[in-house]
Amino acid sequence: MANMKYALLDTDFISKMHLIRKDDQNKLIDKIMTMSNYLFYCHKQISVELMRHNIAGAPEWFESKIVSKSICMYDDEMILDELSEIYGDLAISAYADMLKIACDAYKDGYFDDKFVLVSQMDCLRISREDFLKQLQDDCNEIGEGQNLGELMTYVLLQTLNLKFGEQIYVFCSDDKNARNGVVSIGSARCISVLSSFVKLKKEINFTKEEAMPYIDSYMNTCLGKDQRTFKVQDTSKEKRMCRIPCEQVFEEIFDGKIDELMTGNLKYIL
């Protein structure tokens, strides 16, 4: 689709953006959803993890967006359908390869250690049903707290890259390693909670006055009491990351002095 942008949402981003709000009817995540020409996607594992996060209203908000088709949710069978259209009988092998790439971006050796059944199966001989079952068995064995949502988001990212042949945006965790993992997989651009203020300024003309209640909420709700600075890349040849007072960063975002990097970090504009 011409001029469309394709975006993935992960658990951490949805959870934090749901907490950042002007009031109960005005949450920052809803500002993201108003950006025109964006199609939003997620993996079904995000729904599972949102329930575990137990943030009041977040699972209900998410479900309403799935029902209204504002967010398209893929499960592993749907991903396999997409890969079958591209690779035919090699779709299972393609899925396994993409899962290994996702695991390698997260942690060396993770694929063989955690996806034991998938890593050992004969992808050219196993049936579709058995593959999906063994994949789910591996996921069940991995359990909670193992970044499974991120890994499945990485797999879906690769699938959407193949399907659309376009740059994918990933609205994702503030965790630096998670965002670097996304960038290492391909040409995706990460948008963190902080850099979302830059994105909203560009996409919906979000003004400083409009943003202030959300900035206050972010500072009070999502940041630790000891955090007083954000890192911003300077304009030197060395591209140093400098610690800048939080209030100054927001001032400079809306003064047009700060832009976003592919990693979701911020940078000063020359």
pLDDT in tens, the chain (270 residues): 557 899 999 999 999 999 999 998 999 999 999 999 999 999 999 999 998 877 778 899 999 999 999 999 999 999 999 999 999 999 999 999 999 999 988 888 999 999 999 999 999 999 999 999 999 999 999 988 778 988 999 999 999 999 998 778 999 876 666 666 676 676 788 999 999 999 999 999 999 999 999 999 999 987 877 889 999 999 999 999 999 999 999 999 999 999 999 889 999 998
**Among residues 205, 196, 203, which one has the least CA distance to residue 266?**
196
Q: What is the pLDDT of residue 57?
A: 85
Please give the C-alpha separations between residue 159 and each of 93, 185, 259, in angstroms, as whole numbers.
Answer: 13, 12, 28
Q: What is the pLDDT of residue 176?
A: 64
Q: What is the pLDDT of residue 181?
A: 67
DSSP track, 184-216: HHSS-EEE-TTTHHHHHHHHH---HHHHHHHHH
Distance (Å, whole) CA 89 – CA 113: 27
Q: What is the pLDDT of residue 270?
A: 80
The pTM for the full model equals: 0.91
Distance (Å, whole) CA 74 – CA 44: 6
Q: What is the pLDDT of residue 178?
A: 62
Q: What is the pLDDT of residue 146?
A: 79
Residues 40-82 pLDDT 10s: 999 999 999 998 877 778 899 999 999 999 999 999 999 999 9
Helix residue ranges per DSSP H, the chain: 11-19, 28-33, 44-53, 58-67, 76-87, 91-106, 110-114, 116-120, 128-142, 148-164, 176-185, 196-204, 208-221, 246-254
